[in-house]
Structure 1
């Protein structure tokens, strides 16, 4: 048996959502099944979960997306979706490169200042140093034991 990691997934084997905010105040919603989560999201798992429950009740379209009528027609990576309004959407991509992949680009991005209490508090727990609109992939790594969230086009 391996020793437990400091950076463990809070609900291994379950779909976990975590929130983040970029320097321009735009919100990202990350879906992580088997992928790593930032330490702040792990530490404040209950806040992330409560924010997700509240947001899902008001905006199920941010969570319940389908790119094809037949799931077997979906490509290896997730199909891009363009909600009218909402957060940038990212999902863990264990099939191709073990990073988060952006699959949702809102026509009008959600700002953290527009979120009600719980989701806003959750998003502010994970601040990233890049703009969601400029990245396609988000990597969560631990160089020299320090957590690093980085984005790339």
Structure 2
């Protein structure tokens, strides 16, 4: 794939070795890593590229802006090329800050693996969306970052749980 080579070349120009790069797509590959020719385009054309810097920092860049895997690979390659241009023109500190946004996230904690029912505080049998919303509001009053003891993380987790509840119950 031409897009894969572009991404590998751009990361190589940033002194990232090919053994330190993983390109993840929903395309089935042959044993040699190239895409199989007998497949349809995947439903999810998103692409994620993972790499490790010489300093041992793990990075990831993911793009799903376009409808084709090849276009998302090209977008990653273009982004890497633009970031290299920043570095070339004396913006090394800006480049470090930009790559901070691509830091690979740690594995989720056991608390992050709770179900929406556990987060909101309703029983597994609860199916009434009004009751779930009432429980959400009670928890939100305590979790809100403007309240003593509340936090942004706790409120974000609660809000995500409510979205999951609405999707499931409506």
More strand by share: 1
Q: TM-score range by the shorter chain?
A: under 0.3
TM-score under structure 2 length normalisation: 0.22
Greater relative contact order (CA < 8 Å, ≥ 6 in sequence): 1
TM-score under structure 1 length normalisation: 0.24
More helix by share: 2
